[in-house]
Amino acid sequence: MTPSTTTAPAVPASSARAASGSQEQGSDVGRLLIQCADQPGLVAAVSDFLYRQNANITHLDQHSTDPQDGVFFQRTVFHLDGLAARWEDLEAAFASEVAARFPDMRWRFSATAKRRRVAIMVSKLDHCLLDLIWRSRRDELPIDIVMVIGNHPDLADTVRPFGVPFVHVPVTKETKAEAEARHLELLRGNVDLVVLARYMQIVSGDFLERVGVPTINIHHSFLPAFIGAGPYEKARSRGVKLVGATAHYVTEDLDEGPIIEQDVVRVSHQDSVEDLARRGADVERTVLSRAVRWHCEDRVARHGNTTVVFS
Ligand SMILES: Nc1nc2c(c(=O)[nH]1)N[C@@H](CN(C=O)c1ccc(C(=O)N[C@@H](CCC(=O)O)C(=O)O)cc1)CN2
């Protein structure tokens, strides 16, 4: 969960398409994520607050990292008539009636009907990009892809038929700072999430801090194995019997960020590097789309360099 004391959720326009997901649809359905030092009374405090607001809790999941002095995480889904017009009052009431009693509490409300605005950054490979576009168009992902940024022009023709703007921002070692300045010009204030879909450039810590929203990357190995470039080549040399993919939040440390989702597929001595990449590509697409969906459904809370993922 992005650390914050309060973030005013964008109130979904009545015309907002219902986000994907089973029972979590509708403009009167909201989510509340909280994270704080574990102690007795937290579940009661949140449940009692929502009850007094005439909300009906339809799903609640919690996790404590340690029975003694751990950290408490909770994801609550609730139905509240007229919620679309009540966000500000709800937040103000929660801040004064609940959060004020637990000073270290980080919390945020979000509207299930509000689709997240996503920018995708790519290089030359299209499989993860196309998968996200297809799933977004089919409402399998609660996202609107507002732009694609490529450090190569190769995928401009790929996205054009879908009406998604493509911006070519070339990157070289010498022009990296200027390229990132252009990225920030395009992204800041315009998106809720950045996805690196096989974007093969290392982004700076300055970019990650200034872009102001989470960035998710799909790495084409089962981390922590084979960090960095060329993981399929490294896997072939190592003679692995599984290849995999890892979706993680991006940090300054390459491929070391909090893991959101992973999966693997069996391979054998008969597979070439090209075979590994082909088999791995299906895993990359599946893992990335799961991670994007879970993030956008507020199922993922960050805890140091790990995550809590509510099912
Ligand atoms: N700060 C971060 N940036 C990026 C991360 C990350 O975790 N933290 N993940 C990578 C994606 N990636 C593997 O998944 C990866 C991309 C690029 C490289 C790399 O060595 N790139 C070279 C140049 C490559 C080129 O010229 O095309 C480099 O940038 O020096 C390794 C791993 C995305 N960015």
Looking at 54-68, 143-157, 194-208, 241-255, which range is the least confident one?
54-68
Centroid of ligand 1 to alpha carbon of 137 (angstroms): 28
Number of domains into which the chain is organized: 2
Q: Is residue 4 part of a domain?
A: no
Is the same domain home to 156 and 303?
Answer: yes
Q: What is the mean pLDDT of residues 133-138?
A: 98
- Residue 22 banded pLDDT, cuts 50, 70, 90: low
Q: Is residue 3 part of a domain?
A: no
Is the same domain home to 99 and 124?
Answer: no
Is the same domain home to 199 and 102?
Answer: no
Q: What average pLDDT is seen over the chain?
A: 93
Is the same domain home to 96 and 137?
Answer: no
DSSP-derived secondary structure for the chain:
----S---PPPPPTTPPPPSSSS--STTEEEEEEEEE--TTHHHHHHHHHHHTT-EEEEEEEEES-TTT-EEEEEEEEE-TTGGGTHHHHHHHHHHHTGGGSTT-EEEEEETTPPEEEEEEESS--HHHHHHHHHHHTTSSSEEEEEEEESSSTTHHHHGGGT--EEE----TTTHHHHHHHHHHHHTTT-SEEEESS--SPPPHHHHHHH-S-EEEEESSSTTTT-SS-HHHHHHHHT-SEEEEEEEE--SSTT-SPEEEEEEEE--TT--HHHHHHHHHHHHHHHHHHHHHHHHTT-EEEETTEEEE--
Question: What are the tens digits of pLDDT across the range 187-211?
Answer: 999 999 999 999 999 999 999 999 9
Q: Is 6 in the pocket of ligand 1 (CB under 6 A)?
A: no
Q: Is 150 in the pocket of ligand 1 (CB under 6 A)?
A: no
Q: Is residue 299 part of a domain?
A: yes
- The last residue of one of the domains, among 111, 129, 151, is 111
Count the alpha carbons within 13 Å of 90 in the hemisphere toward its beta carbon.
29
Is the same domain home to 91 and 50?
Answer: yes
Distance CA 68, CA 87 (A): 34
Q: What is the mean pLDDT of residues 251-276?
A: 98
- Backbone angles phi and psi of 143, in degrees to 5: -135, 155
Contact 295, 19 (CB under 8 A): no
pLDDT above 50 for 241 = yes
Q: Is 97 in the pocket of ligand 1 (CB under 6 A)?
A: no
Distance CA 195, CA 146 (A): 12
Q: Is residue 78 part of a domain?
A: yes
Is the same domain home to 101 and 141?
Answer: no
Distance CA 263, CA 287 (A): 7
User: Whole-prediction pTM value?
Assistant: 0.91
**Domain span at 50:** 13-111
The CATH number for 48's domain is 3.30.70.260
Q: Is 286 in the pocket of ligand 1 (CB under 6 A)?
A: no
Q: Is 288 in the pocket of ligand 1 (CB under 6 A)?
A: no
The CATH number for 157's domain is 3.40.50.170
Output the residue whose Cα is nearest ligand 1's atom 4. 202
CB atoms within 10 A of CB 96: 10
Is the same domain home to 193 and 248?
Answer: yes
Sequence-separated (6 or more) residues with CB below 8 Å from residue 19:
25, 112, 113, 114, 115, 139, 142, 296, 297
Which of 202, 252, 288 has the most ligand 1 atoms within 8 A of CB, as the residue to mutate? Answer: 202
Question: What are the tens digits of pLDDT across the range 110-130?
Answer: 999 899 999 999 999 999 999
Centroid of ligand 1 to alpha carbon of 255 (angstroms): 8
Is the same domain home to 90 and 160?
Answer: no
Report ipTM for this prediction: 0.91
Centroid of ligand 1 to alpha carbon of 270 (angstroms): 29
Q: Is residue 8 part of a domain?
A: no
Which of 124, 149, 200, 221 has the most ligand 1 atoms within 8 A of CB, as the residue to mutate? Answer: 200
CA dihedral 18, 19, 21, 22 (to 10 degrees): -10
Is the same domain home to 179 and 215?
Answer: yes
Output the residue whose Cα is nearest ligand 1's atom 26. 201
Question: What are the tens digits of pLDDT across the range 211-235?
Answer: 999 999 999 999 999 999 999 999 9
Q: Is residue 225 part of a domain?
A: yes
pLDDT above 60 for 18 = no
Question: What are the tens digits of pLDDT across the range 148-185?
Answer: 999 999 999 999 999 999 999 999 999 999 999 999 99
Question: What are the tens digits of pLDDT across the range 284-296?
Answer: 999 999 999 999 9
- From the candidates 28, 131, 255, 271, which is the catalytic residue? 255
Is the same domain home to 81 and 121?
Answer: no
What is the per-residue pLDDT for 16?
38
pLDDT above 80 for 23 = no
Is 255 annotated as catalytic? yes
Is the same domain home to 26 and 81?
Answer: yes
